[in-house]
Amino acid sequence: MKYPSLVTLLALWLSVGSVLAQTPQAYWSEAVSNFTSGNNVAAIDDLNLYLELNSTSAEGYALRGLVKSIKGDWDGSMGDYNKAIAINPKLPKTYLFRALSKADKNDLDGALKDYDKAISIDPKMLLAYTGRASVKLRKHDPDGAIADCNLALAIDPKSTIALAYRGNAKFDKHDFKGAIADCNSALAINPKYGYAYYSRGCARAFQNDERGAVTDYSTAIAFSQKDLRPYNNIAWALATTADSSLRNGAKALEYATACCKLGGWTNANHIDTLAACYAEVGDFNQAVKWENNYLETNSTNKAAHDRLALYQAHQPYHQDPSQENPSYSPKPAPKP
């Protein structure tokens, strides 16, 4: 028997690979792989090819809508979600993805409606409950968030997201011990969950455990390097704590500068923190400059005006240990 040549075998293998690569399932698998790895441009290309071959796939349009939303193509994403719903109005993922997109655009009421719809179709959809809880937290409804987290935990008692969000809601209700307990539970399941460290740090600060808070913020940064909140809070704590043994202006300034750079110098709270850090290292010209920058958009903030007066007098700002919560930071409460 005469065996085909190596060149013939290679040509045959390539031709088979080419055919397989053009099947809808192949494009779908590539799209999902690229999306999960963060390569959204390639994911869009794969989904375009997939939908050319499978134009009635509601899941295809739903996923492409989510990817477009992440890329900032709001109109395109809404168009794809609408196509997905027209094809299959009972696909819960479409409403889940559209809720995520709406929440990202601060359409919180619209997001809630889509989460409600997803849950009405699939009452066991865990991510719909945790997503709805995150929106309720942003709408200052901690009781509603706790209720949704409890429903999520009934589905999966080991949901670290539900535990951390419930801890966040307890923080908003000033149940700091309860918040710490929920974060501890989440971290027992996933010791690398940066958001839980950050949230626990916030609760510890309000329990007058600023040293523990600083440790948690530092650990949060190690596991979630793109989350700016722990950078901001650790900088504020190290610059302004009433505990002189914990205070470290140089380190605080490193964190504050990194926070502002990562955030594109657009967040006023980060700028306020930066000013306090400059004051702590004795650079009062920079402290005055950045506090004035902060006040351009927060002119009614009396505490900021008081800090500016200190910087102008060449004095740093330190928290008052006689306050009810001496570790209180004027930074936002933790949010998902």
pTM over 0.75: yes
Q: What angle do CA 302, 227, 31 make, to 5 degrees?
A: 140
What pLDDT, on the 0 to 100 scale, is given for residue 321?
A: 73
d(CA 79, CA 5): 51
Mean pLDDT lowest among 25-29, 158-162, 163-167, 187-191: 25-29
Rounded to the nearest integer, the mean pLDDT of the chain is 90
d(CA 190, CA 163): 11
Contacts of 195 (CB under 8 A, 6+ apart): 164, 220, 224, 227, 334, 336
Helix (H) or strand (E) segment spanning residue 163: helix 160-172
The DSSP result for 77-142, as a single string, is HHHHHHHHHHH-TT-HHHHHHHHHHHHHTT-HHHHHHHHHHHHHH-TT-HHHHHHHHHHHHHTT-H
* Mean pLDDT across 296-324: 91
What pLDDT, on the 0 to 100 scale, is given for residue 333?
A: 52
d(CA 146, CA 165): 8
Using only C-alpha atoms, what is the Rg of the chain?
25
Q: Is residue 2 very low, low, confident or very high in pLDDT (cuts 50, 70, 90)? A: very low
Residue 95 has pLDDT above 70, yes or no: yes
What pLDDT, on the 0 to 100 scale, is given for residue 322?
A: 65
What the chain holds in terms of domains, given with CATH numbers, is 25-117 (1.25.40.10), 231-336 (1.25.40)
